């Protein structure tokens, strides 16, 4: 398929459908609303279902039911709506169900929510954060693949820019390795057979199962599952100009796109600066970050919040100076789109940090 000129939210909707998503439920909240509109328009064209849920609680519940029925299902919202969904997201991890959840965030205040989880118990969700639309339409298809592969919810971290920037993108299906059939899905066909299926966060088997699993043992396997995901997927990242960099800026999502541009500009002037962009926020690309910052004297983390991902960078780089150099973007829109994303401002901020660096070295 060739590229089409599409607004981000519609491109995301079409890419989800290309990935085989056939059930979507949502409750309007900008900038997630526009994705919901896209799904409402395009899902019926392929025989899928898009339901206007009464709240975020019901949206995630409906998607949960559809996922249990074997459909590729998705829902989403913005940070606040995601807060309402946390209980269900946690339980779906325990119930071993796939789901794709979009967080079309305002700013980047939801990093902790996405990577630490706002829910209960021992669980983790894969979190993927694209920097531009070309990457997003491919990454969201990968989200469905990961969700099915690991039978676990996957978060997709978008924002206002991603929803509204118009770019030429190819939303054709992306090929991934074939996955086994969903021999666990519920369609009623095993009822009355003596071996009826059960999907439950509390117990994986019926009382008469050949191998019975006690509740406690089942809970224990939740921890094993976290390790299985970490061992089963390579963390995703992008880096540039890091080979001989004195200073590396770490950033994710839309701000990373601005950082990438600013670092390119600085490099053309001979400034020894590099950038590193985690694409999977969990699992976090710690090993790659360690390698990318090998020559760096210090590392700056540029994120549009009071300092959240900086924790993961510090945990990855225990012997480096790591500073938070971003901040909350105080724009009146509430969507976190300015002024912290002005390239000149970002460039000046990096220069300032690097000037301190040479002062410290000189002293």
Partner 1 sequence: MSEILETATPPKRKAKLVDDFEPSLILEGKHQLCAGCGEPAALRSTVEIIDELGLADRAIGVFGIGCYTSFSPVLDLEVLQALHGRAPSLATGLKRVQPDSIVFTIQGDGDMVNEGLQEVIHTAARGEPVTCVMLNNGVFGETGGHMTSTTVLGQRTKNTLEGRDPKQHGFPIRMAEMLAPLDGVAYVARGATNNAGNIFQLRKMLQSAFEVQRDGLGFSFVEILTMCPTGWFIQTGEAPDYLADKMASYHQPGIIKDAREGA
Asked if residue 63 binds partner 1 (CB under 8 A), the reply is yes
Distance CA 339, CA 291 (A): 32
Asked if residue 205 binds partner 1 (CB under 8 A), the reply is yes
Asked if residue 187 binds partner 1 (CB under 8 A), the reply is yes
On the CB side of 70, CA atoms within 13 Å amount to 11
CA 340 to chain centre: 22
DSSP for residue 169: E
Structure-token pair, residue 362 = 């000189």
Give the closest residue to 93 by CA, choosing from 214, 230, 200.
Answer: 200
Which one of 19, 23, 34, 337 is in contact with partner 1 (CB under 8 A)? 23
Minimum gap (Å) between residue 19 Cβ and partner 1? 16
Asked if residue 189 binds partner 1 (CB under 8 A), the reply is yes
Which one of 80, 191, 342, 356 is in contact with partner 1 (CB under 8 A)? 191
How far does the chain reach from its first CA to its final CA, in angstroms? 58
Which one of 10, 34, 91, 340 is in contact with partner 1 (CB under 8 A)? 91
Nearer to partner 1 by C-beta: 29 or 73? 73
Nearer to partner 1 by C-beta: 94 or 252? 94
Asked if residue 58 binds partner 1 (CB under 8 A), the reply is yes
Cα dihedral 282/138/180/280 (nearest 10) = -10
Distance CA 356, CA 220 (A): 48
Asked if residue 125 binds partner 1 (CB under 8 A), the reply is no
Give the closest residue to 163 by CA, choosing from 338, 9, 27.
Answer: 9
Which one of 1, 5, 178, 207 is in contact with partner 1 (CB under 8 A)? 207
Which one of 40, 186, 226, 271 is in contact with partner 1 (CB under 8 A)? 186
Nearer to partner 1 by C-beta: 65 or 109? 65
Asked if residue 46 binds partner 1 (CB under 8 A), the reply is no
Minimum gap (Å) between residue 194 Cβ and partner 1? 6
DSSP for residue 235: P
Q: Are strands 237-240 and 273-278 parallel, antiparallel or unpaired?
A: antiparallel
Minimum gap (Å) between residue 254 Cβ and partner 1? 31
Distance CA 92, CA 98 (A): 8
The residues of the shown chain that bind partner 1, judged by CB under 8 A, are 22-23, 25, 49, 51, 53-55, 57-59, 61-71, 73, 87-88, 91, 95, 186-194, 196-203, 205-208
């Amino acid at each position: 398929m060739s590229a089409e000129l599409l607004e981000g939210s519609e491109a995301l909707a079409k890419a989800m459908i290309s990935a085989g998503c056939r059930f979507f439920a949502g409750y309007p909240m900008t900038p997630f609303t526009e994705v919901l509109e896209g799904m409402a328009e395009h899902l019926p064209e392929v025989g899928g279902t898009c339901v206007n849920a009464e709240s975020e609680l019901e949206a995630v519940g409906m998607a949960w039911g559809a996922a249990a029925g074997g459909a590729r299902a998705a829902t989403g919202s913005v940070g606040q709506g995601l807060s309402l969904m946390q209980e269900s997201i946690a339980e779906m991890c325990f119930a071993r169900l796939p789901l794709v959840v979009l967080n079309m965030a305002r700013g980047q205040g939801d990093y902790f929510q996405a990577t630490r989880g706002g829910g209960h118990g021992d669980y983790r969700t894969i979190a993927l954060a694209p920097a531009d639309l070309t990457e997003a339409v491919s990454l969201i298809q990968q989200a469905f693949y990961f969700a099915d592969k690991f039978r676990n919810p996957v978060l997709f971290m978008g924002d206002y820019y991603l929803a509204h920037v118009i770019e030429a993108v190819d939303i054709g299906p992306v090929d991934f390795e074939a996955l086994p059939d969903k021999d666990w899905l519920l369609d009623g066909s095993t009822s009355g057979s003596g071996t009826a299926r059960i999907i439950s966060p509390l117990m994986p088997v019926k009382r008469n199962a050949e191998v019975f699993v006690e509740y406690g043992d089942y809970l224990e396997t939740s921890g094993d599952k976290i390790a299985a995901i970490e061992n089963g997927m390579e963390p995703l990242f992008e880096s540039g100009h890091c080979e001989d960099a004195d200073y590396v800026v770490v950033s994710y999502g839309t701000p990373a796109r601005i950082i990438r541009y600013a670092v390119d500009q600085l490099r053309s002037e001979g400034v020894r600066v590099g950038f590193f962009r985690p694409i999977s926020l969990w699992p976090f690309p710690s090993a790659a970050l360690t390698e990318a910052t090998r020559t760096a004297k210090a590392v700056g983390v540029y994120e549009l919040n009071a300092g959240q991902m900086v924790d993961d960078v510090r945990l990855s780089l225990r012997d480096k100076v790591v500073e938070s150099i971003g901040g909350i973007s105080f724009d009146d829109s509430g969507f976190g789109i300015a002024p912290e994303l002005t390239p000149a401002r970002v460039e000046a901020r990096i220069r300032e940090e690097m000037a301190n660096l040479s002062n410290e070295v000189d002293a």
